[in-house]
Structure 1
Amino acid sequence: MHLQILLVVVVMACLGAASGQGKSHCKKTCGNVTIEYPFGYDEECYYNSNFLVTCNQTSGKPPVPILGVGTTNIVISNMSMDKGELEILMFVASDCYNSSGSTRRLHATLTLGKIGTDIRVSTKNKFVAVGCDTLAFLRGTRGPRIDVTGCNSNCGRRSLFTNGSCTGVGCCEVAVPEGMSAFKIIVTSNNNHTNITDFNPCSYGFFLKNGNFNFSTNDLREFQTPRMPMLLDWAIGNSTCENATATNTLICKGNSECDRNYTGPGYRCSCKNGYKGNPYIKNDCENINECINGNHDCRHECIDEEGSYTCKCRKGYSGDGKKGGTGCTADQSMVIKIAVGSSASAIFLIVFVNWLYFGLKKRKLMKLREKFFRQNGGIMLQQRISRDKGSGDQAKVFTIEELQRATNNYDESRIIGKGGYGTVYKGVLSDSRTVAIKKSKLADQNDTQIEQFINEVIILSQINHRNVVKLIGCCLESEVPLLVYEFIPNGTLSDHIHNKHKSLSITWDIRLKIAHGAAEALSYLHSAASIPIIHRDVKPTNILLDDNYVAKVADFGASKLIPMDQNEVATMVQGTLGYLDPEYLQTNQLTDKSDVYSFGVVLVELLTGKNVLNFERPEKERNQAKHFLSSLKEGRLLQVLDEQLQQTENHNEIVTVSRLAERCLHVKGDERPTMKEVAMELEGILSSKIQKHPWEKHTLNEDEAEYLLKEPTINVYEFDDGANATSSTFDSMSKQTILPIASGR
């Protein structure tokens, strides 16, 4: 069943303005809409019949303004004189199906008179269609031409719907042709909604002014708005401003003028600048008092004039007084007086404020530095330095300004390393020494931890070993202590192992030299320092190299001082995953053998050239240390060696170091050698004299080296190191519980 609604406005020719322009007896409102000339209720109140408005009064309902008479049903919701627009409520066309397939269709039709009428459809509208199986057409009339346009809206999966989007999924829209005086909206369905009846049985099409519709998926189910707001353009007649003026039919009188920005058809009026009102009523455009409403650009005083305003300067000043003009300029004598007085006052005020500001800031900064100095154990450190005056090298206490100058205020370009314990900057001291300045992330606030930190600074500053990075001093005036070390220029061992180009330059002899140097440093820390020191984070990134590839053990942020009367100390587990002693992980008991295990992992990296942990490798190869031991046991050592080492002829030495790494990696700490024994064996290898140690019962021969570097015929490898270590020893490491690893100081 088709229901068609016809909305007609009959446009009549007009030869001149109505004699009743702006009559006082004309009604100005209908409901909540203001009716202004050229629109009106009767012949004396409107310009011509095109602008006739009927106030429709229905019993029990508020009155509604309708454009036209008779069957015309164009409901006006707003009108604008300055824009020449009418907002009307236009019917929504629809096409609905029920479960039996029958249809209920409603077209929407609008006719705005004959060719050349005063009222047309505005291009500020959009033609919109809503539905899941919708084909909407717009058949519009533009003079003698008929234009047809439309859009198609379908629905896919619900996930394709986007609220606010009207691009063809549930909603579509097209632009409106310019100058339409009539149109008909036809909405139909491609598939009679057979596939989506339960979801969206209806389609809708309507005009809508731009920006007044925000599509929602709820519109597909419950679109119950019978009318939507749309805009109509209106103007006076078909003449231009020039023709209307020439024929004396122009109705823009008094303080109104013809709008030259409007290009037709017809013409529009507007109030002149400085006036407001209805430009279509003679003398209704009244003067705007810019001085009262603040719509002026005067600097000091505003004086209202007819259609404009002027600005006045204060006494002693001259000019147009406008902010955008010449402004107000003081007389010469006054300028001098004001300048002198203002300058003196300003200088005094600036000097006083700056003195006060910088004085308070400096005092506050000094107090803050004193607080940090005491908090970080500065007084304790000074007492220790004073007490130990005759004991060789001393730790220097730097000021915060010295280190800021050395690092160019900690410029990012000076960063040479970042780690879990802080950031390291390259700095140049006032005596031209190049140093590395470590800025820690966390500060120790506990008194016991501060005392330990001070002890560590004192001890490390007194360590003078060629394979330990020298601690020069510290700064305690910042929130976290800053440590100053000697600068090592050649980067970390990790860089040289894992960088493809750098690894080519470290031959087997250099690797052996690096391993021996690191072992010597750890041996010294364990057994020769005044108080034994356990490094607790031995890894390639903490072993630096100088230009001659001399190893320097660095980063003592996690180190622990061990009292002389103790072999182990209970502590929270700290370190780096992959290098951690499994026994330490289980018991929380830190011993010097924990560093031995970590050093064994470093030897594995030197031999294989691979990261100790890599979860992208096959499961049995993810832990390189475990894979290395397995390969050593099965006689497949050659397969896991660094490619460069596979080509060397130092097979006996490589196997000997591999055996040493195996002993260092025993799960039980008691079965590992000491760092002193490790250093001695590496020194023996360097001098080509493999020494026999108490914990080694035989000497490696060439046949055994050849066996370990080949694919074995029998997958059995036995090695007796005095502790009956077999493959099951290391396999047990896979059964250890992995504990959380805390970050160090």
Structure 2
Amino acid sequence: MRWAHFLSISEDVVAEVYSFAGVGGGLLVLLSACALTCWGRQRRNLADQTRKVAEFKQRMFDHNGGPFLQQHMSSQPGNTFRIFTEVDLAKATNGFADDQIIGRGGHGVVYLGRLEDDTPVAVKKSKMMDERESKEFAREMAILSQINHVNVVKILGCCVEVEVPMLVYEFVPGGTLFEVIHRRNERTTISLEVRLRIATEVAEALAYLHSYASPPILHKDVKTSNILLEKDHRAKISDFEIATVVQGTCGYLDPEYLQTYQFSEKSDVYSFGVVLVELLTRRKPLHLQGPEDERSLAVSFVSLLSQDKLESILDPQVLSEGDAEMLREIAELAGRCLRVTREDRPTMKDVSMALHFLGPSRGHPCVPQHAPEEAESLLNGEQSTGYYSADVASRSLSGKNHAIIEIETGR
């Protein structure tokens, strides 16, 4: 009886085990099915997301003129301009990491990057671009990519598969001219000879853009913070981009532009005049404190020049290194650049020639530094009467544009 009772209990236990096993197996099958369903759904979602991203990038590529740029590049075998992908630039900048930021402004952020061949570059991400800028972007890039001058920051390429195209420039390691001449805590020594060389190089670069490019290119925001320096203080003008409004910087902006809203080569000449005065005085273009008639460096300089009181405004180092006649001639050149009426100002080519004669090699014939090929037209075809801006906030709107005034802060 006991044995039969034991067998009966064992059979019940086995039945319960089988029952639990069946339930567990069913749950396992159900969970596996659910997991497979979720995995499949995630794969489909990921595939859909990947497809949507690819479609968006292609749409932006087409919208920002990618096909036009590709065609242009294929027709220019010697052109090294490159179309980057977003992945390329993210990799170059460590995912656009904050510690890679080397510049920041109202229109965008500049990152230090390194390409696959270890070439250092500056990558600019702009914050916005309107419809007109998008339509003109590819044509602007086709023109700017052909600029070839030792004193102009070279644009290496762009990324057009994003909503707001990114630009890639050569990296210039020496900082800005503004930092060199206005950093009071360090008070870096910069000789008169170096200052005049910088002024001459900037003048040459602007003369090249105005006189040898076809159509002429206007910078529209010439200032010391847009002049970059190599470690040997060789100057390179920068900030060549696209825009629909003129971004003048208070203290540098052509006073006639504020009346007419028309920009010309002579507007760049006025801004250069302010830069030249900064080099001679080591004073900032604006002083918001003090007497009203002394707040504008340009106005104060012209006034003292007319009163023959240059010694009261020139940098002591300049006074000690330069003879009175040469300093007077340079000051008068700056004064001609700062004339209120555009027609009375010289051209940048005239300014470049004058600086060659007034500099350390004064008395020797002036030979422009750009190579012969740089003097050729940047575009094949007839000369246009239109102008192509060189700054992200510096494109004119048929005389209807308004100025965005920024007060220089050193960045």
TM-score by length of 2: 0.79
Q: Residue 358 of structure 1 aligns with which residue?
A: 46
The range that moved more, 359-368 or 648-657, is: 648-657
Tell me by how many angstroms 1:589 deviates. Answer: 2.4
Between Structure 1 and Structure 2, the one with more strand by share is 1
Q: 1:609 to 1:680 in 2, by over 3 A?
A: same
Give 1:370's match in structure 2, choosing from 58, 64, 68: 58
Is the contact between residue 181 and residue 187 of structure 2 (CA under 8 Å) also seen in structure 1? yes
Q: Does 1:644 align with 2:280?
A: no
CA distance in 2 between partners of 1:676 and 1:334 (Å): 93
Q: 1:380 aligns with which of 68, 71, 82?
A: 68
Structure 1 residue ranges without an equivalent (≥5): 1-315, 317-330, 560-570, 694-738
Indicate how the Cα distance of structure 1 residues 421 and 505 shifts in structure 2: closer, same or farther if over 3 A, else same: same
Q: Does 1:471 align with 2:155?
A: yes
Counterpart of 2:294, as a letter, is E
**Please, which runs of 5 or more residues in structure 2 have no aligned partner?**
1-12, 14-18, 367-400, 407-411
Does the C-alpha gap of structure 1 residues 640 and 743 become closer, same or farther in structure 2, counting only changes over 3 Å? closer
Written as runs of structure 1 = structure 2, the 5 A alignment for 1:54-73 is none
Aligned match for 1:539, one of 215, 223, 228: 223
State the 1:590 CA deviation: 1.9
- Partner-residue secondary structure (3-state), 2:103: strand
Cross-structure match for 1:741: 403
Superposed CA offset, 1:561-596 (max 9, x none): xxxxxxxxxx96542222111122222222111110
- The 2-side partners of 1:485 and 1:345 are apart by 53
Structure 2 counterpart of 1:312? none
Specify whether residues 336 and 420 from structure 1 end up closer, same or farther in structure 2 by C-alpha distance, changes over 3 A only.
Answer: same
> What residue is the counterpart of 2:349 in the other structure?
676
Kept after mapping to 2: 8 A contact 1:438/1:484 = yes
Runs (4+) off by over 6 Å: none
Contact 1:580 1:597 in 2 (8 A): yes
For the pair shown, which has the larger CA radius of gyration, 1 or 2?
A: 1
**Structure-1 separation of matches of 2:116 and 2:155:** 17
Q: Does the 8 Å contact 1:558/1:575 carry over to 2?
A: no
In the alignment, what sits opposite 1:549?
Answer: 233
Is contact 2:245–2:402 with CA below 8 Å preserved after alignment?
no
What's 1:623 paired with?
A: 296
Shift of residue 459, structure 1, vs aligned partner: 1.9
**Overall identity of the aligned pairs, in %:** 44
Query: 1:497 and 2:159 equivalent?
Result: no
Alpha-carbon distance, 1:502 to partner: 4.9
1:649-668 equivalences in 2 (<5 Å): 649-668=322-341
Within 5 Å, give how 1:654-733 maps onto structure 2.
Answer: 654-690=327-363
CA shift, 1:355, in A, is: 0.7
Counterparts of 1:427 and 1:493 in 2: how far apart (Å)? Answer: 22
1:646-700 CA distances to partner (integer Å, 9 max, x unpaired)? 443444433322111101001111111111111111122234325799xxxxxxx
Greater per-residue helix proportion: 2
Task: Show the counterpart of 2:123.
Answer: 437
CA–CA separation in structure 1 for the residues paired with 2:34 and 2:190: 68
- State TM-score, norm by structure 1: 0.45
Within 1, Cα distance between the matches of 2:159 and 2:54? 14
Change (3 A) 1:502 1:530: farther
* Separation of aligned partners in 2, 1:643 and 1:558: 40
Matches within 5 A, 1:3-152: none
Code of the aligned partner of 1:483? L
Alignment of 1:381-460 (within 5 A): 381-386=69-74, 388-390=75-77, 392-446=78-132, 449-460=133-144
What's 1:575 paired with?
Answer: 248
**CA distance, structure 2, for counterparts of residue 546 and residue 431 of structure 1:** 21
Change (3 A) 1:572 1:425: closer
Aligned alpha-carbon RMSD (Å): 2.7
Deviations 1:35-54 (A, max 9, x none): xxxxxxxxxxxxxxxxxxxx
Are 1:517 and 2:201 counterparts? yes
